[in-house]
Amino acid sequence: MRPNSITFIGGGNMAASLIGGLIADGFDPTRIFVSDPDKEQLSQLAARYRIHAAADNQSAVEAAEVVVLAVKPQVLEAVARDLAEALQASRPLVISIAAGVREAALLDWIGEGIALVRSMPNTPAMIQAGATGLHASAGVNDAQRNQAESILRAVGLTRWVEDEAQIDAVTALSGSGPAYFFLVMEAMEAAAVELGLDSESARLLTLQTALGAARMAIESRDAPATLRQKVTSPGGTTEKALGILEEGGLRDLFKDALLGAKTRSEELSKILAKT
Annotated binding site for NADPH: 57
Contacts of 66 (CB under 8 A, 6+ apart): 5, 6, 7, 92, 93, 94, 95, 147, 148, 151
Q: State the burial class of residue 178 (Cβ atoms within 10 Å of its Cβ: 0-12, 13-18, 19+).
A: middle
d(CA 272, CA 77): 9
d(CA 16, CA 70): 10
List residues forming the annotated binding site for NADP(+).
9-14, 70-73
List residues forming the annotated binding site.
9-14, 57, 70-73
d(CA 197, CA 67): 50
d(CA 41, CA 53): 10
DSSP per position, 191-260: HHHHTT--HHHHHHHHHHHHHHHHHHHHH-SS-HHHHHHHT--TTSHHHHHHHHHHHTTHHHHHHHHHHH
Q: State the burial class of residue 168 (Cβ atoms within 10 Å of its Cβ: 0-12, 13-18, 19+).
A: buried
Contacts of 267 (CB under 8 A, 6+ apart): none
What pairs with residue 53 in β-bridges?
34
